[in-house]
Structure 1
Amino acid sequence: MKSGQLNRRVIVQRATSVSDGAGGQVREWPEIGRPWVKASLWSTGRGAGGGQSAVADVMQDNQAFVIRMRPRDIATGDRIVLDGLNYRVRAVVDPNGRRRELQVSIELEVPENA
């Protein structure tokens, strides 16, 4: 992947549990990185092409993207902040097994109180 294709900056966050000071735990999302990525809006139709079929089974009907990025520490369940919106990482795929590029499917998080 050429660096010129990586045209958007995102924030990667990972959930941690910390003490709330009253004997309970609260979830926080500290930042673990700010990589450059190429983001493509996910087509909800199956067989979208472009290598996206590898992650099709985990996508649902809400707003979703596939981002391409250089390999780094990212896992299912992490959060990506893209254009000020929170997305949950649904799948991480190494399409050719060479760790040169990762395809990460992300899905818009819906607030629990919505």
Structure 2
Amino acid sequence: MRERTEEIVARRPSPSGLVIPEVDAMGRLRDLYLAPGTCARFGNRELADEIVAAIAESAADARRQYHLRMNDPGDRPRPIAEVMREWRARTGPGKQLPNFGKAEQ
């Protein structure tokens, strides 16, 4: 499960498209790309707004990816009742059930 979480990375651009952060599934900023000339084009406050907007959008995308990845029906374990039905069908009625390491009484 941890490996699936670590694979999630979101890169959503800012409204101008000049700032692109890289955010992981936990919402942590991993990298930040500023296009050439971005700092000269914006004032301090405008640049900060661009960066914050891009990080917020990337974090929201990473949360969406996390939700989809963790709720994928293909990754869920099968119900134990289904596994046991298949096992019984393969072994037949004459076979003894395993005791799973417990001492017989």
TM-score, structure 2 length as denominator?
Answer: 0.23
Higher strand share: 1
Query: Which structure's CA Rg is the greater one?
Result: 2
TM-score, structure 1 length as denominator?
Answer: 0.22
Higher helix share: 2
